[in-house]
Structure 1
């Protein structure tokens, strides 16, 4: 059996690496921030998100568009008094995607903190 065959055989018995469960749409820093802040409240205002995540209007708008097109958030525009406002709400799909992301991150941390035998290759 060659080294490649042994590695392939070993890989067949291992669980997938936790990073395989990470979703690029969710995992990006600003988008992950949006989802986590939105998870903490029923809805969150654009200006609050911008301040919390330390991003520009344009940068946040772009990430919100990606999340909205993916069905992970809803965006509602309206007024508070005479001032225009934009509110963001996490959808059920967004909450589920965030849960999957968090499980993958926990699994990755656990993997790194758990002593493992390193295979001879």
Structure 2
């Protein structure tokens, strides 16, 4: 994020990517979600989801928990408090962009 008056400067570059935005939006609605559920809901491959989740995990936005259901390995994803704050700030910036008043340009009086 960088400074500036326009709300676009408040967009989070990590979350702004369409796939990462979809991941964070999906996880914002739940406490945690299974990897396969997120993969299917946002319509990406395992490898794409894995790569993007790793990026979000490295930033501290997503927590990855591995375990088993019976003898089958499972991976659960959840937003961290930092990730939830970043997602909410990103949404606020998008809202600010869409509700920014339109100002007519000043006439050129040369």
Aligned length: 105
Q: Following TM superposition, where does structure 1 have runs of at least 4 consecutive aligned residues deviating by more than 6 angstroms?
A: none
- In structure 1, how many angstroms separate the alpha carbons of the residues matched to 2:74 and 2:57? 17
Return 5+ residue gaps in structure 2 as ranges: none
Q: Does 1:63 align with 2:63?
A: no
Given the alignment, which residue of 23, 31, 41 partners 2:30? 41
- Higher Rg: 1
In structure 1, the partner of 2:15 is 26
1:69-108: CA deviations, max 9, x gaps? Answer: 0000100011111211100011000010001100100011
Between the aligned partners of 1:92 and 1:99, the Cα distance in structure 2 is 11
Question: Aligned to 2:98, which of 106, 109, 113?
Answer: 109
Answer 1 or 2: which has greater helix percent: 1
Q: Secondary structure at the match of 1:107?
A: helix
Aligned: 1:52 with 2:22: no
Aligned partners of 2:102 and 2:30: how far apart in 1? 38
Q: Tell me the distance in 2 between the aligned counterparts of 1:16 and 1:99.
A: 19
Q: Which runs of 5+ in 1 are unaligned?
A: 1-14
What's the RMSD between the two structures over aligned residues?
1.3
